[in-house]
Structure 1
Amino acid sequence: MELVCPAGNLPALQAAVDAGADAVYAGLRDQTNARAFPGLNFSDDELRQGIAYAHARQRKVYLALNTYPDSARLTQWHAAVDKAAALGCDAIIAAEMAVLDHAARHHSQLARHLSVQGSATTAPALRYMYERFGIARAVLPRVLSVQQVERLCENAPVPLEVFAFGSLCIMVEGRCQLSSYVTGVSPNRHGVCSPASFVRWEEHPDGRRSVRLNQVLIDRFDPSEPAGYPTVCKGRYAVGGEVFHALEEPTSLNTLELLPRLAQAGVAALKIEGRQRGTAYVASVTRTWRDAIDRYRTDPAHWQARPDWQRALARHAEGHQTTLGPYHRHWH
């Protein structure tokens, strides 16, 4: 299985490659990708350097063009596809059909991966994207059970990639509207949940911190309580006289114990989430998964998830806890 790791900047790309990633995925400094945070992503020159660094070590670079342009800005996404081809990216990761169509028509040699934002969860959906746009791979949404993944591996016309570790999204990816209700800015079109320009932190005399998104109170943290980046889905709200994580408690997806089952199902690639995370996260998580995959390849019959691997991953979990998420569901 290919290990696909995040690169929010050039040092992170180099760290992922050095730690054993088979491929890295990156974005440009604009709204064509779904991690359009200030100070993140690549200039043209940095991406050129990153591709050269990866290719010199026989690794791949995928460019995420996974947001949904409106018709007035579609040419910007087309230009990003052209740039990916010109710079030598090994594939683009796209969701919008018009973006995939442009790539298929003008850069047939550039591999096209269907993004998780494409929300393809059935064999017919994958077959349509393959027949219409010639996708070479599809990234499955994080709402599927492991049984559903296994069934898709049996029937899909293309190799499949699944998320193995990182932030867990409970929404229908590519269709989330929560941030847009509060800010008026769609995460699907503008590249980020909770745009930084709408986020306001407040310090209180007792040491607590509050965070608001466009003046709407999202959460309040005790002095010693870790605080992640605020999103609507992971906030705490007063419901029925109780304050709690009404939608989603901050937690990280960790599928390490499922590695043998995913391999036996025929999953082609394991994806690590986290282009917004630092270089230390990228290096540590990549190194851990590289070791786990290599040991499974060497001796699959006796493979077990080692405690030191789980401890290493737990240190980087969002909310300091991990889950199998929808993978643990037992229904089909």
Structure 2
Amino acid sequence: MQLVCPAGNLPALLAAIEAGADAVYVGFRDQTNARAFPGLNFDEQEIRDGIAYAHARGRKVYLALNTYPDSARLEQWFRAVDHAADLGADAIIVAEMAVLDYACRQHPHMARHLSVQGSATTAAALRYAYERFGIARAVLPRVLSLQQVQRLCQTAPVPLEVFAFGSLCIMVEGRCQLSSYVTGKSPNRHGVCSPANFVRWEELPDNNRSVRLNGVLIDQFGADEPAGYPTVCKGRYQVGEEIFHALEEPTSLNTLELLPQLAQAGVVALKVEGRQRGVAYVRTVARVWREAIDRHAGSAQDWRPYERWQQALAAHAEGQQTTLGPYHRAWH
């Protein structure tokens, strides 16, 4: 199985390649990608240097063009497709059908991967994208059970990639409305949940802190309590007489123990989430998964998830905790 790792900047790309990633996925410094945070992503020279570095070592670079443009801005996404082809990207990761159609017609030899933002959860949806736009791979949304992934591997017309580790989204990707409800800016169109210009931190008595998104109180933290980047889905709210994570706790998906089942099902690539994360996260997670995949390939029958692997991953997990998420559903 291929290990696909995030790279939000050039140092992260170098770290991922050095740690054993088979491919990295990156974004331009604009709203064509779903991690359009200020200070993140690649300028022209950085992306050329990164692609050259990866290719010199036999690794691949995928360009994420995975947001949904409105009709007035389609040309910007089309130019991004052209630019990806000019740079020699090994594939583009796309959700919007007009962008897929343009890439299929104008750059038929550049591989097209259907983004997780495309929300393709059925064989029929995957077949449509394959027959209409010639996709070479599809990234499955993080809402499917292991049994559903296994069935799709049997029936899908294209190879499938799944998220193996990283921040977990409770929504069907590409359809979340929470951030746009609070800020008026859709993460699917503007490239980011909780745009930074809407985020306001406030110091409270006793070194406590609060954070608001467009004036809406999202969470409050104690002096020694770790605070992550604020998103609506992972805030704490008052429901009745209780205050708790009403939608989702801060946690990371970790499918390491499922690696044998995913390999047996025929999953071709394991993806690590986290282009917004730092170099230490990328390096550690890539090293763990590289070793785990290689050990499984060498001796599948004797493979087991070592505790030191799990400890290393947990240290970089959101909220210092991990979950199997929808993969671990008893019902089919």
TM-score interval w.r.t. the shorter chain?
over 0.9
How far apart, CA to CA, are the structure 2 residues paired with 1:144 and 1:51? 32
Does the CA contact (< 8 Å) of 1:221 and 1:227 recur in 2? yes
Structure 2 spans left out of the alignment, 5+ residues = none
Query: 1:78 is paired with a residue of what secondary structure?
Result: helix
Q: In the alignment, which residue of structure 2 is the partner of 1:198?
A: 198
Q: In the alignment, which residue of structure 1 is the partner of 2:266?
A: 266
Q: In the alignment, which residue of structure 2 is the partner of 1:9?
A: 9
**1:207 Cα deviation after fit:** 1.1
Q: In the alignment, which residue of structure 1 is the partner of 2:48?
A: 48
Q: In the alignment, which residue of structure 2 is the partner of 1:31?
A: 31
How far apart, CA to CA, are the structure 2 residues paired with 1:117 and 1:178? 15
TM-score, structure 2 normalization: 1.00
> Within the alignment, does 1:135 sit opposite 2:135 as a pair?
yes
**1:296 Cα deviation after fit:** 0.3
**1:330 Cα deviation after fit:** 1.9
How far apart, CA to CA, are the structure 2 residues paired with 1:330 and 1:208? 40
Aligned partner of 2:89: which letter? C
Deviation sequence 1:35-64 (CA, Å, 0-9, x none): 000000001211111000000000000000
Deviation sequence 1:205-236 (CA, Å, 0-9, x none): 21110000000000001111111000000000
Does the CA contact (< 8 Å) of 1:147 and 1:330 recur in 2? no
Query: 1:262 is paired with a residue of what secondary structure?
Result: helix
Structure 1 spans left out of the alignment, 5+ residues = none
Deviation sequence 1:141-176 (CA, Å, 0-9, x none): 000000000000000000000000000001011010
Query: 1:206 is paired with a residue of what secondary structure?
Result: helix
How far apart, CA to CA, are the structure 2 residues paired with 1:305 and 1:249? 25
> Within the alignment, does 1:117 sit opposite 2:117 as a pair?
yes
Query: 1:201 is paired with a residue of what secondary structure?
Result: strand
How far apart, CA to CA, are the structure 2 residues paired with 1:149 and 1:109? 28
> Within the alignment, does 1:64 sit opposite 2:59 as a pair?
no
**1:240 Cα deviation after fit:** 1.0
**1:78 Cα deviation after fit:** 0.3
Does the CA contact (< 8 Å) of 1:77 and 1:99 recur in 2? yes
Q: In the alignment, which residue of structure 1 is the partner of 2:22?
A: 22
Q: Percentage identity across aligned positions?
A: 79
How far apart, CA to CA, are the structure 2 residues paired with 1:105 and 1:301? 45
Q: In the alignment, which residue of structure 1 is the partner of 2:75?
A: 75
Q: In the alignment, which residue of structure 1 is the partner of 2:207?
A: 207
Within-5 A mapping of 1:139-150: 139-150=139-150
TM-score, structure 1 normalization: 1.00
Query: 2:205 is paired with a residue of what secondary structure?
Result: coil
Does the CA contact (< 8 Å) of 1:6 and 1:274 recur in 2? yes
Q: In the alignment, which residue of structure 2 is the partner of 1:279?
A: 279
How many residues align? The count is 332
Query: 1:291 is paired with a residue of what secondary structure?
Result: helix
Q: In the alignment, which residue of structure 1 is the partner of 2:306?
A: 306
How far apart, CA to CA, are the structure 2 residues paired with 1:168 and 1:181? 20
CA RMSD of superposed structures (Å): 0.4
**1:331 Cα deviation after fit:** 1.7
How far apart, CA to CA, are the structure 2 residues paired with 1:121 and 1:224? 41
Q: In the alignment, which residue of structure 2 is the partner of 1:318?
A: 318
Aligned partner of 1:164: which letter? A
Q: In the alignment, which residue of structure 1 is the partner of 2:188?
A: 188
How far apart, CA to CA, are the structure 2 residues paired with 1:13 and 1:120? 28
How far apart, CA to CA, are the structure 1 residues paired with 2:154 and 2:268? 12
Q: In the alignment, which residue of structure 1 is the partner of 2:222?
A: 222
Query: 1:275 is paired with a residue of what secondary structure?
Result: coil
Deviation sequence 1:240-275 (CA, Å, 0-9, x none): 110000000000000000000000000000000000
Structure 1 segments, 4+ long, off by >3 Å, are none
Q: In the alignment, which residue of structure 1 is the partner of 2:293?
A: 293
Q: In the alignment, which residue of structure 2 is the partner of 1:237?
A: 237
Aligned partner of 2:191: which letter? G
Aligned partner of 1:274: which letter? G
Aligned partner of 1:116: which letter? V
How far apart, CA to CA, are the structure 2 residues paired with 1:209 and 1:143? 33
Aligned partner of 1:152: which letter? L
How far apart, CA to CA, are the structure 1 residues paired with 2:66 and 2:209? 33
Does the CA contact (< 8 Å) of 1:167 and 1:253 recur in 2? yes
